Structure 1
Amino acid sequence: MNSKVLLLLGVVAVAAGDSRPSYRAPYAASAESFESYESSEAQYNFNYAVKHDPSGNDFGHQETRDGDDTQGSYYVQLPDGRLQTVTYFVDGDSGYIADVKYDGEARYPDSYESFESFESREAPRYAPPRRVYG
């Protein structure tokens, strides 16, 4: 008797698993029909900037897009002291067109100076806390 019930439940489970919903979800695509949903034209404008003097970080980015027209710029303070600025736009199917500029003059420390400055730094020393009796 138990085996007949289990067999019947198994058949019902297979039949239920094979059933398909009678409605058609908007995201379901079949080989019979394919609908393309175009989104509205992209439109945005953003910018940000970071300037942190203790670490030397100085960079930012700005971009504007209206449909297929995209343009913007970004900049970064390089470790050698120059400011790199990239101005760009997207020219349809031609792609990303960038103009890169550098402001300032690159400065590199003399290898002897950098060695000397490295050696002259004192390493922090660990000292256990002093006991205080009250």
Structure 2
Amino acid sequence: MKSVIQRVKQASVTVAGEVVGSIDQGLLVLVGVEQQDSEVEADKLLKKLLQLRIFADSEGKMNCNVQQIGGGLLLVSQFTLAADTRKGNRPGFSGAAPPELAERLYNYMVDQARAQHSPVATGIFAADMQVALINDGPVTFLIDT
């Protein structure tokens, strides 16, 4: 799984003019599922998300994780993270998981996140989504399990 993690002050996902998911302070996570991924990668990514110390402690150092600050998770599926852009000008998506596998693993990860943390918000799998955020820092990380 590949992901882009952004520390945010606020983030939301809108579909067809309606906000379907939003958080205040926390992490916006764009999640890309690749062909070889399984629940193992989803669990590994979620563990990393919950333990990643990228929020300021009382001394202003990145020393706290999203759970310690009571922040939210906004999980958004994004198959374009699996793009191969090494050749030419048109991305290839042969490494992306088939939609059925990607949706199953995305939903698995959302369910696991909700069992371990609150609040958790989401976009809608395979929908045309508009994502809005106020990036905090900016602080952005790429994670590839």
TM-score range (shorter-chain normalised) is under 0.3
User: Which structure ranks higher in relative contact order (CA pairs < 8 Å, sequence separation ≥ 6)?
Assistant: 2
More strand as a share of residues: 2
Q: Could you say which structure has the larger radius of gyration?
A: 1
TM-score by length of 1: 0.18
